[in-house]
């Protein structure tokens, strides 16, 4: 056994460290403790001439390890990768749990950043449909595959040619025209009258009568737009390389759903005027036309901020669910409390518990329509508590969203920089 006062020399990555054997014996079961054993010269790389042990490891990280044996405190270097530190500690057989609380905060932060980088980095890249079609063309050798490639490129790659750009712009203009046409048609649905109208409803001294009066030429113009979009949709479906992925895309699903309202109305001609509910639902369903305007992102590169949002939303689902549970509890609590506080008031706005829940929802979300408010003193105290609680809830949720978004945005920026460097190197 080597004496405790005897010194031992360690050569780590070309840097020599000298310490006492008693220092290395501070933590039994570690690799440095094993160096003080009599058979250490046989088990490790030992140079008898220089009388030193050699380890081909990072000398910078070893300084933290040796400092841990000397001071009994293991600290985390600020500018060191988390995985590199864990690997180094594992080599010297030191547990990461030995880090003090001050360093655990840094480690946890870097762990979150690593998860965000992995979540955004492992995301599937947009599939190279041209490459898939090219492989299929080479495999089958048919001229039809060549035309499929050209048509798919023309429809899905706006910057592939001048014709593709013009076609994408024309499609966007048709979408805008369809939205304008839908808004113009909405003015033909209602008629204001002071007469008694059956099944009408009172609104500020007037009767609103539902009058579905389609202008024929507007209906035919909408049908013309929809037929153009239907031809485009089925053409893209025919030439797409992977029909399952094509149908899973949200924008393609929106294109498919937008074909239904006009055809339902045409096939049910003569019957819809008798059923106001169907007409109202068809008008609401036409809001899908507005979602078609999202295809404007085909003409411009999708902003990095929007590409980050889906990954951030997926990462904070658990937190969102927890806050929704808390919010529902707050609505039930303050809504019920305010209702029973106002129940004896003659001029209260809250006729039932449902009205109280509506008031609590508007107050907690800091919207404050002012359509309902408490009259009694106790009700006003409840309202003040509800408003303060709502502000605190929104602040906490906003902070979580900002922190998560910052982490994912930084990971996305780093990934974009790596991609640009790879392109420059190529």
Q: In what order do the strands lie in the sheet with 190-193?
A: 190-193, 206-210, 201-203
pLDDT digits (tens, 9 = 90+) for 175-199: 888 888 877 766 554 444 444 444 4
Please, are residues 258 and 289 in contact by the beta-carbon 8 Å criterion? yes
Residue with tokens 């009172």: 202
Q: Which pLDDT score, from 0 to 100, does residue 37 have?
A: 85
Average pLDDT, the chain: 76
pLDDT band at 383 (very low <50, low <70, confident <90, very high): very high
Please, are residues 356 and 339 in contact by the beta-carbon 8 Å criterion? yes
Q: Please name every residue paired with 52 in a beta bridge, in sequence order, or none if there are none.
A: 47
* 313 or 32, greater pLDDT: 32
Q: Which pLDDT score, from 0 to 100, does residue 385 have?
A: 94
pLDDT band at 5 (very low <50, low <70, confident <90, very high): low
Q: Which pLDDT score, from 0 to 100, does residue 24 have?
A: 86
Q: Which pLDDT score, from 0 to 100, does residue 303 have?
A: 64
pLDDT digits (tens, 9 = 90+) for 55-77: 988 888 888 888 888 888 877 77
β pairing state of 7-12 and 15-20 = antiparallel
* 237 or 426, greater pLDDT: 237
Instruction: Report helix, strand or coil for 207.
Output: strand
Q: Which of 128, 114, 143 is nearest to 411 (CA)?
A: 114
Q: Which two tokens stand for residue 253?
A: 């699903």
- Residue 291 belongs to what H/E stretch? helix 288-291
DSSP letter, residue 304: H
Query: With a threshold of 0.75, does the pTM exceed it?
Result: no
Q: Which two tokens stand for residue 182?
A: 């839908």
β pairing state of 190-193 and 52-55 = unpaired
Please, are residues 348 and 375 in contact by the beta-carbon 8 Å criterion? yes
Cβ neighbours of 345 (radius 10 Å): 13
Q: Which pLDDT score, from 0 to 100, does residue 197 have?
A: 44
């Amino acid at each position: 056994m080597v004496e405790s006062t005897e010194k031992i020399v360690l050569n780590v990555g070309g840097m020599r460290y000298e310490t006492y054997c008693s220092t290395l014996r501070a933590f039994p079961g570690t690799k440095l403790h094993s160096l003080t054993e009599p058979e250490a010269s046989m088990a490790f790389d030992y140079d008898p001439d220089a009388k030193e042990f050699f380890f081909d490891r990072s000398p910078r990280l070893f300084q933290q390890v040796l400092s841990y044996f000397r001071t009994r405190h293991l600290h985390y270097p600020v500018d060191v990768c988390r995985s590199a530190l864990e690997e180094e500690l594992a080599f010297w057989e030191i547990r990461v749990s030995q880090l003090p609380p001050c360093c655990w905060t840094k480690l946890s932060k870097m762990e979150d950043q690593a998860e965000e980088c992995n979540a955004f980095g492992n995301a599937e890249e947009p599939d190279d449909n041209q490459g898939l079609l090219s492989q299929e063309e080479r495999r089958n050798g048919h001229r039809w595959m060549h035309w499929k490639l050209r048509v798919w490129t023309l429809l899905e790659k706006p910057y592939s040619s001048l014709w593709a750009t013009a076609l994408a712009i024309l499609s966007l203009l048709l979408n805008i025209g369809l939205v304008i046409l839908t808004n113009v048609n909405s003015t033909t649905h209602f008629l204001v009258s002071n007469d008694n109208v059956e099944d009408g409803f009172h609104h500020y001294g007037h009767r609103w009568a539902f009058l579905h009066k389609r202008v024929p030429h507007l209906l035919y113009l909408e049908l013309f737009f929809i037929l153009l979009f239907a031809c485009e949709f089925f053409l893209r479906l025919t030439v797409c390389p992977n029909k399952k992925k094509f149908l899973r895309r949200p924008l393609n699903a929106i294109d498919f759903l937008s074909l239904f309202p006009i055809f339902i109305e045409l096939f049910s001609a003569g019957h819809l005027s008798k059923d106001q509910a169907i007409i109202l639902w068809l008008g609401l369903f036409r809001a899908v036309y507005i979602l078609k305007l999202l295809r404007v992102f085909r003409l411009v590169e999708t902003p990095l901020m929007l590409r980050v949002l889906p990954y951030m939303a997926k990462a904070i689902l658990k937190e969102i669910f927890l806050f929704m549970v808390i919010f529902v509890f707050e609505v039930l609590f303050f809504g019920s409390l305010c209702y029973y506080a106002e129940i004896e008031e003659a001029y209260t706005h809250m006729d039932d518990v449902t009205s109280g829940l509506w008031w609590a929802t508007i107050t907690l979300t800091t919207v404050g329509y002012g359509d309902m408010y408490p009259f009694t003193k106790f009700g006003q105290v409840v309202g003040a508590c509800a408003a303060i609680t709502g502000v605190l809830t929104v602040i906490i949720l906003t902070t979580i969203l900002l922190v998560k978004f910052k982490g994912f945005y930084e990971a996305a920026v780093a990934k974009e920089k790596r991609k640009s460097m790879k392109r420059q190197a190529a």
